[in-house]
Structure 1
Amino acid sequence: MASMNDKDYYAILGVEHDADDAAIRKAFQKLARKYHPDINKEPGAEEKFKEISEAYAVLSDPDKRRRYDAMQSGNPFAGASYGSPSQPQGDPFGGMGGFWGWPFGAAGAGRQAGSRRSRAYNPKAGGDVVYQLDIDDKQAKEGVRRGITYQRYVACDVCHGAGSVHADHARTCPTCGGSGHISVDLASLLGLGVMNMVCPECEGSGRVVVDPCEACGGTGRVLSASEVVVDIPAGSHDGDTVRVPGMGNAGTNGSSTGDFVCRVGVPSERLQPQAAQGFQMIGFAMPFIVLGVLLDVLAQLTVIIAIPLLVGIVLVGRGGGVLHHAGTWWRNAWRYFVNGFMNAATIAVFMALMVSCMSGFGTAGYRGGFY
Structure 2
Amino acid sequence: MQFQDYYKVLGVEPGDSDASIKQAYRRLARKYHPDVSKEPDAEARFKAINEAWEVLRDRDRRSAYDELRRNYREGQTFRPPPDWNGFQGDFGGGSGGDFSDFFETLFGQRGGFSPGPGPRPPRSLRASIQLTLEQAFEGGQQRIGLNGRNYDVRIPAGITAGQVIRLAGQAHGGGDILLEVGLAPHPVYEPDGRDISSELRVPAWTAALGGTVSVPTLGGPVNLRIPAGTGSGKRLRLKGRGLPGSPAGDHYVRIAVDAPVANTEAQQQAYRALAQAFGDTAAG
TM-score (norm 2): 0.33
Greater relative contact order: 1 or 2 (C-alpha under 8 angstroms, separation 6 or more)? Answer: 1
Please state which structure has a larger fraction of its residues in helix. 1
